[in-house]
Amino acid sequence: MADQLVLVINSGSSSLKFQLVDPVSGVSRDGGKVQQIGEPSSRAADHEEALRLAFEQMAESGIDLKSCGLVAVGHRVVHGGKHFYHPTLLDDDTIAELDKLSELAPLHNPPAIRGIKVARKLLPDVAHIAVFDTAFFHDLPAAAATYAINRELAQRWEIRRYGFHGTSHRYVSEQVAGFLDRPLDRLNQIILHLGNGDSASAIAGGRPVETSMGLTPLEGLVMGTRSGDVDPGVISYLWRRAKMSVDEIESMLNHQSGVWGLAGENDFRRLRQMIESDDGSAQLAYDVFIHRLRKYIGAYLAVLGHTDVLTFTAGVGENAAEVRRDALAGLQELGIVVDESRNFSDDKGARRISSDDSRITVLVLPTNEELAIARDCVALLAEL
């Protein structure tokens, strides 16, 4: 049988990531990122040019999208709102519905929709499918999904904890079961997705029961440039006292906060160097990041009651051994013992970093959202 390939597109406000994936073997044939879209220094003035550049790159690698066996374009869409929690075939009607969701996710959904429109224009003959970052958390228990705010207001404006990074949490939780050779429905897991955005989830028997992001991807852990949890009172205080507008406050919390807001740097490699050269702001940023992470780990151990396995994933989780060490240091009474040499080994790929006598297994497991999206796409095509 000829190859079936899926082009996965992750379209952000100023960048477009793409990967051409074989959903069966998991091999990525080509991929890349067009950055700084729309900025004067960029090669791409808009998302259409960015996608054309992606096509050029693939052509240079010898890939002809018309004849390579492309069966679908999978689009990562951040917010699925109340109604979108399955992979969804995109047509004019579904795109119009998605457009409406932009009010719920003004920072994230509009660039994805731009990517969808451009990709449909340039590749009109294949199926375009949206896969939602919120989908996995759609059935979060009501106690975890509900904010304790006025109920009528929340219902009217569809305010709940939606959760994000769901594609990654689901993919990793399934891979964990495979790696441990245990049934997913018998495992209680904590997953820490630590990249530029950071989120944690507690998953009982394959079903998520808690996650750290909420109505938007701003809630929860301290992130690269996002604050994570703050007292909501900070917002009204800044509005009233500093006379900042809502847009300014939102932008500050999303783009000028987190590790970057405290240290002026959000790449953990640079942050480590700064700490080693006694930069006090970098040390504080790191300490705040770790403190919040430990708080969530403790909370999720309590939510689950019994935990079998805790897994680190994404850029920081997979690569920053110090973060893993410091997040779990001194937790032997809670059943977690990290093996120093396993944690600091240069191994890549799925690996165990807990010691043999740790009651809770600790893993590092690379996420692969593109592959998960590609597989969702072919599964949907098979149903049609």
Q: Annotated binding residues, as ranges?
A: 10, 17, 76, 193-197, 267-269, 315-319, 369
Smallest gap, in angstroms, from Cβ of residue 379 to ligand ADP?
A: 23
Q: Which stretch binds ligand ADP (CB under 6 A): 80-88, 206-214, 310-318, 346-354?
A: 310-318
| CB-based contacts of 265-270 (< 8 A; 24+ apart in sequence) | 266/196, 266/224, 266/225, 267/224, 268/315, 268/316, 268/319, 268/320, 268/323
How far is C-alpha 288 from the chain's CA centre?
A: 21
DSSP state, 63?
Answer: -
Catalytic: which of 133, 198, 308, 376? 133
Q: Does 14 bind ligand ADP (CB under 6 A)?
A: no
Phi-psi region of 28 (alpha: psi -120 to 50; beta: other; left: phi over 0): beta
Q: Does 112 bind ligand ADP (CB under 6 A)?
A: no
Give CA–CA dist 117/123, Å, rounded. Answer: 10
Residue with Cβ nearer ligand ADP (319 or 355): 319
Backbone φ and ψ of 185, nearest 5°:
-75, 0
Q: Does 282 bind ligand ADP (CB under 6 A)?
A: no
Question: Which residue positions form the known binding site for Mg(2+)?
Answer: 10, 369
SS3 32: strand
Residue with Cβ nearer ligand ADP (111 or 224): 224
Q: Does 297 bind ligand ADP (CB under 6 A)?
A: no
Give CA–CA dist 210/362, Å, rounded. Answer: 19
Question: Which residue positions form the known binding site for substrate?
Answer: 76
Residues facing residue 189 across a β-bridge: 203, 309
Smallest gap, in angstroms, from Cβ of residue 126 to ligand ADP?
A: 25
Q: Does 267 bind ligand ADP (CB under 6 A)?
A: yes
For residue 62, the tally of other CB atoms under 10 A from its CB is 9
Smallest gap, in angstroms, from Cβ of residue 314 to ligand ADP?
A: 4
* Six token digits for residue 28: 């990525």
* Six token digits for residue 136: 């996995």
Residue with Cβ nearer ligand ADP (42 or 196): 196
Q: Does 225 bind ligand ADP (CB under 6 A)?
A: no
Q: Is 133 a catalytic residue?
A: yes
Smallest gap, in angstroms, from Cβ of residue 383 to ligand ADP?
A: 29
How far is C-alpha 252 from the chain's CA centre?
A: 20
Smallest gap, in angstroms, from Cβ of residue 173 to ligand ADP?
A: 17
Residue with Cβ nearer ligand ADP (251 or 319): 319
Q: Does 166 bind ligand ADP (CB under 6 A)?
A: no
Residues in the interface with ligand ADP (CB under 6 A) total 13
Considering only residues 35, 146, 319, 355, which one is a binding residue for ligand ADP as defined by CB under 6 A? 319
Give CA–CA dist 186/205, Å, rounded. Answer: 5
Residue with Cβ nearer ligand ADP (102 or 196): 196
Q: Does 197 bind ligand ADP (CB under 6 A)?
A: yes
Q: Does 111 bind ligand ADP (CB under 6 A)?
A: no
Give CA–CA dist 99/150, Å, rounded. Answer: 27
Considering only residues 33, 82, 151, 269, which one is a binding residue for ligand ADP as defined by CB under 6 A? 269
Do residues 169 and 191 lie in contact, with contact meaning Cβ atoms separated by under 8 Å?
Answer: yes
Do residues 123 and 73 lie in contact, with contact meaning Cβ atoms separated by under 8 Å?
Answer: yes
Question: Which residue positions form the known binding site for ATP?
Answer: 17, 193-197, 267-269, 315-319
DSSP of 136-187 = GGTT--HHHH--SS-HHHHHHTT-S---S-HHHHHHHHHHHHHHHT--GGG-
Considering only residues 111, 195, 208, 217, which one is a binding residue for ligand ADP as defined by CB under 6 A? 195
Smallest gap, in angstroms, from Cβ of residue 224 to ligand ADP?
A: 6
Give CA–CA dist 242/235, Å, rounded. Answer: 10
Smallest gap, in angstroms, from Cβ of residue 10 to ligand ADP?
A: 9
Residue with Cβ nearer ligand ADP (207 or 272): 272
Sign of the CA dihedral with 118 first, then 75, 134, and 163 last:
negative
Q: Does 15 bind ligand ADP (CB under 6 A)?
A: no
Backbone φ and ψ of 135, nearest 5°:
-55, -45
* Six token digits for residue 228: 């994570």
Residue with tokens 């009010």: 103
Q: Which residues are catalytic?
A: 133
> Which residues contribute to the site for ligand ADP (CB under 6 A)?
195-197, 224, 266-269, 314-316, 319-320
